Structure 1
Amino acid sequence: MVDQLRPNPAYIEAVLADAALSPYRTWMGLGITELECDRALVVLDIEDHHLQLRGTVAGGVMASLIDTATFWSAFVRAPADAGVANVDLRVNYLEAVPKGARRLIAEGRCLRPGRRLSYAEAYVRDERGHVVAHGMSSVLTLAGKGLAIDLPKYLEENE
């Protein structure tokens, strides 16, 4: 079984490989660069389609970063055959991302992991390290809705 506090690196690798297949994450350019128990780091290299008419990053982009970072920060504690879903999202826009910014980084932390419902938060920082948005989410564990990894094979090879 996967250790809940220190997940097997092979399991994390399999999760990230499966998650990389998400059409939305691919289109948005959201990359999960770190994933561990209760923590996820998500990066976004800013492109033209992330900008509003006036050249600033759209609020929906910030919300997507927070949604993704909170989701993945809670995911690792879920049972191996389960999935999770954000059931609410609260976003505070703290500062406009300056024109010419190239990257945003969201760090998600699961504040209270639960068997059925977890609570997570995320901070979005620009490349200068300034916090530009903060958000929180409730994350629901969904039995039988795990990722499309070959779990029996994974468990056999990594026990």
Structure 2
Amino acid sequence: MTQTQADAVTQIRTRTFTWDDPASTAARVGQLSGLEFLHAISRGELPAPPVTHMLGMRAITAEEGRVTAELQPAEYHYNPLGTVHGGVLATLLDTATGCAVHSTLPAGYGYTSIDLSTKFLRPVTVASGVLRCVGTVLSRGRRTALAEAKLTDERGRLVATAQSSCLIFEVP
């Protein structure tokens, strides 16, 4: 074994996380309004989606047409360049825009993202501190909605933005 290989072995890190069966939460989508659904998850009455555990998202709060989510960047979010992978940031932005739309829906309706247009404005690292992502509905019709999200670092600097179109549908 070379010294480089030995150094790499000693720096191995691990992460373990658990989650609940997502089917129990998904089964409630049509039974509650979107805002009631998001509040039930925030209060722990319904399990959070597995992706929130996988990424380490926290503190999701919702009011009608507006959702805030937070994420503490960690090494396991890094790409090979030593910054948080854009896909992690895009997932946070997609969560905020989609959940903002969901917060406006009555019981019996759901949504799915049609598109997500992102702009990454500065690199994010562990030193960026807690990221705060605020999603807001810009326009909502019967079949589609448009939402935006702004992602800021702990110092309030804008690090990324996104716009998303969502398809609204009746839950069977």
Into which bin does the TM-score normalised by the smaller protein fall?
A: 0.7 to 0.9
Q: Which moved more, 1:110-119 or 1:46-55?
A: 46-55
Q: Which residue of 1 aligns with 2:69?
A: 42
Q: Which moved more, 1:87-96 or 1:44-53?
A: 44-53
Cα deviation digits, residues 106-142 of structure 1 (max 9, x gap): 1000000222100000011011100000100001112
What is the 5 A alignment of 1:136-155? 136-144=163-171
Q: Which residue of 1 aligns with 2:39?
A: 13
2 CA distance for matches of 1:38 and 1:81?
17
1 CA distance for matches of 2:157 and 2:103?
27
Structure 2 unmatched runs, 5+: 1-31
Cα deviation digits, residues 37-83 of structure 1 (max 9, x gap): 11000101112111112321111111001100001111011121211
Computing the radius of gyration from Cα coordinates, the structure with the larger value is 2
Q: Which residue of 2 aligns with 1:149?
A: none
8 Å CA contact 2:120, 2:160 repeated in 1: yes
Cα deviation digits, residues 9-46 of structure 1 (max 9, x gap): x6653254466431112111122431011100010111
What is the 5 A alignment of 1:107-118? 107-118=134-145
Out of 124, 131, 140, the position equivalent to 2:151 is 124
8 Å CA contact 2:39, 2:61 repeated in 1: no
Q: Structure 1 length as normaliser, TM-score?
A: 0.78
Deviation, structure 1 residue 102: 2.8
Quick check: 1:135 aligned with 2:162?
yes
| RMSD (Å), alpha carbons | 2.3
Q: Bigger relative contact order, structure 1 or 2, given CA contacts below 8 A and separation 6+? A: 1
Q: Which residue of 1 aligns with 2:84?
A: 57
8 Å CA contact 1:32, 1:40 repeated in 2: no
8 Å CA contact 1:78, 1:115 repeated in 2: no
2 CA distance for matches of 1:143 and 1:3?
12
1 CA distance for matches of 2:126 and 2:73?
10
Question: Is the partner of 1:80 in helix, strand or coil?
Answer: coil
Residue identity in the other structure for 1:14: A
Structure 1 unmatched runs, 5+: 146-159
Q: How many residues of Structure 1 are paired with residues of Structure 2 in the alignment? A: 140
